[in-house]
Amino acid sequence: MIRVVLPAHLKNLAHVSGEVHLEVAGPAGDDGGVTPRQVLDTLEARYPALLGTIRDRHSGKRRAFVRFYACEEDLSNESPDTPLPERVVAGQEPFIILGAMAGG
Amino acid sequence: MSGVRVLVGTRKGAFVLTSDGQRGDWTVDGPHFGGWEIYHVAGSPADPDRIYASQSSGWFGQLIQRSDDGGKTWDAVGNDFAYQGDAGDHLWYDGTPRPWEFKRIWHIEPSRDDPDTVYAGAEDAALYLSTDGGRKWAELTALRTHPTGPTWQPGAGGLCLHTIILDPANKDRIYVAISAAGAFRSDDAGASWLPINKGLRSGEIPDQDSEVGHCVHHITQHPSRPDTLFMQKHWDVMRTDDAGAGWREVSGDLPSDFGFPIAVHAHEPETVYVVPIKSDSEHFPPEGKLRVYRSRTGGGDWEPLTRGLPQSNCYVNVYRDAMAVDTLDPCGIYFGTTGGQVYHSVDAGDSWAPIVRDLPAVLSVEAQVLP
């Protein structure tokens, strides 16, 4: 089970509160682990309203002002096929999606 | 008694303002989608309770929200706005080629007779059509792929398609306007497009007779005279009486002919409203006086409408989609400012009062008359 933390605006859009818990299935990543791409695929499949809000619908590229954190590391610029830390896969730490620090 | 619903898009959410037909007491509902930029909220003429909203954010991109109950509840519908085929390039500010890149939907135009049919104008400029209530969007590619497309350059606000007029007398005729490409007309439901910019004069471009490149800010039309259009250009107020074949200037005695919105009275096709702004770099009213100007002669002769509007120290702007009229009698006029005020007049502009004063900066205003 993967724990996902969404920013407030995307929680509203998905009509959820608190963390989202996902059972991520599908092909394994490069090293046999669970990848951010799989997590996002699963997240968007469950909450279609999030399509296009985290990554481009066609290229799959992360939106410029969206960041991915886990285990106190910034994973935003990692390959989406790099396996997530074991503690995230084990549900001990969340995969955090957040809006970059920017005002307006 | 009939009622009025005013749909307001702001920098930080949408608001729904409602009143009975007297238009004296108002209820303010919102913010809907708090924190998001709402470029436009528009209701279906065929079903006033069907409302579409363009919701966008620098963080999370573009969404389209749809309400089927007059704005009480909303559902996100389709947001897949893809450019069809090889998108190609347009010109960037510095004159270099720049790939077309979707940024947001500026304007939503529901069909006059089908609540599920709706058009959307995008930045970078493209026209989209949905026939299933906004779930799926298809680009009408002939506009963006017009032979002049590679020469289009953005205005300061971006290369945005901000005006869509569905001709009430000819279902195949559509007008659009793009900053800063100009105005275009289709007579075959979007299958082909004709630039309609003859007569426009724009000091910002070297060739005054250029087919495109004019910074059109907004266009409006009275349904009883579909071949007459009024235009607020970057500078100049213009009109055409032959569906855009030729334009002539009707700025007349305005204190400034720069501005963004333009509207026409619901029952008087020669009565036109603009909000003069000092200049392209000074986006506030001349002399700090917020004045709507009305022409009862189809342009040329203009009178300031000031009663109830601030006449000192006012430095707000009024954006292109932020003025609307209702169809009651007397005609109601509504406009919103970058200072968050929404003003209305229930006597065709003779006097004004704020409905609400302290919203986020207003991006768009639309008025619906309810049965």
pLDDT tens digit at each of 371 positions of chain B: 589 999 999 999 999 999 999 999 999 999 999 999 999 999 999 999 999 999 999 999 999 999 999 999 999 999 999 999 888 999 999 999 999 999 999 999 999 999 999 999 999 999 999 999 999 999 999 999 999 999 999 988 999 999 999 999 999 999 999 999 999 999 999 999 999 999 999 888 888 889 999 999 999 999 999 999 999 999 999 999 999 999 999 999 999 999 999 999 999 999 999 999 999 999 999 999 999 999 999 999 999 999 999 999 999 999 999 999 999 999 999 999 999 999 999 999 999 999 999 999 999 999 999 98
Distance from CA of B76 to the nearest CA of A (A): 6
A43 in Cβ contact with A52 (< 8 Å): no
Instruction: Give the pLDDT of residue B197.
Output: 98
- To the question of pTM greater than 0.90 for the whole model, the response is yes
pLDDT at A104 over 70: no
pLDDT at A100 over 60: yes
Say which CATH class B37-361 falls into.
mainly beta
Q: Looking at chain A, which residue has its C-alpha nearest residue B74?
A: A13
* CB pairs A-B closer than 8 Å: 40
**Which residues in chain A have their CB less than 8 angstroms from residue B58's CB?**
65, 102, 104
Q: What residue segments make up the domains of chain B, in order of their start? A: 37-361
Q: What angle do CA B49, B50, B55 make, to 5 degrees?
A: 120
B355 in Cβ contact with B370 (< 8 Å): no
Q: If you count them, how many residues does chain A have?
A: 104
- From first CA to last CA, the distance across chain B in angstroms is 8
What gap in Å lies between CA B217 and CA B180, rounded to an integer? 9
**Which residues in chain A have their CB less than 8 angstroms from residue B61's CB?**
52-53, 63
Amino acid B128 reads Y
Q: Both tokens of residue B88?
A: 């190609």
B33 in Cβ contact with B55 (< 8 Å): yes
Query: Using the beta-carbon criterion (under 8 Å), do B80 and A53 form an inter-chain contact?
Result: no
Query: Using the beta-carbon criterion (under 8 Å), do A9 and B35 form an inter-chain contact?
Result: yes
Smallest Cα–Cα separation from B335: which of B346, B315, B321, B351?
B321
Instruction: Give the pLDDT of residue A58.
Output: 86
SS3 category, B38:
strand
What gap in Å lies between CA A87 and CA A71, rounded to an integer? 8
pLDDT at A39 over 90: yes
Cβ neighbours, 10 Å, residue A37: 17
Q: Both tokens of residue B261?
A: 């919105």
A95 in Cβ contact with A36 (< 8 Å): yes
Q: If you count them, how many residues does chain B have?
A: 371
Higher-pLDDT residue of A58, A5: A5
Query: Using the beta-carbon criterion (under 8 Å), do A13 and B61 form an inter-chain contact?
Result: no
Q: pLDDT by residue (tens digit) across B281-304?
A: 999 999 999 999 999 999 999 999
Q: Both tokens of residue B260?
A: 């963004």
B200 in Cβ contact with B233 (< 8 Å): yes
Phi, psi of B229 (to 5 degrees): -125, 145
Distance from CA of A42 to the nearest CA of B (A): 18
Distance from CA of A18 to the nearest CA of B (A): 19
Instruction: Give the pLDDT of residue B2.
Output: 82
- Most A-contacting residue of B38, B60, B66, B77 (CB-CB within 10 A), to test interface: B60
Distance from CA of B78 to the nearest CA of A (A): 8
Q: Both tokens of residue B137?
A: 């969007």
Q: What angle do CA B156, B158, B161 make, to 5 degrees?
A: 125
Question: Which superfamily, per CATH, for A2-99?
Answer: Beta-grasp domain (3.10.20.30)
Helix (H) / strand (E) element for B13: namely strand B13-20
Instruction: Give the pLDDT of residue A28.
Output: 56
B322 in Cβ contact with B344 (< 8 Å): no
Q: Both tokens of residue B65?
A: 């929200």
What gap in Å lies between CA B91 and CA B68, rounded to an integer? 40
The CA-based dihedral angle spanning residues B357, B359, B360, B363, taken in that order and rounded to the nearest 10 degrees: -80
Considering chain A, what is the average pLDDT of its residues?
Answer: 91
Q: What residue segments make up the domains of chain A, in order of their start? A: 2-99
Amino acid B267 reads H
Instruction: Give the pLDDT of residue B1.
Output: 55
pLDDT at A29 over 70: no
The residue with tokens 């968050």 is B340
Enter the DSSP assignment of A88. Answer: H
Query: Using the beta-carbon criterion (under 8 Å), do A9 and B60 form an inter-chain contact?
Result: yes
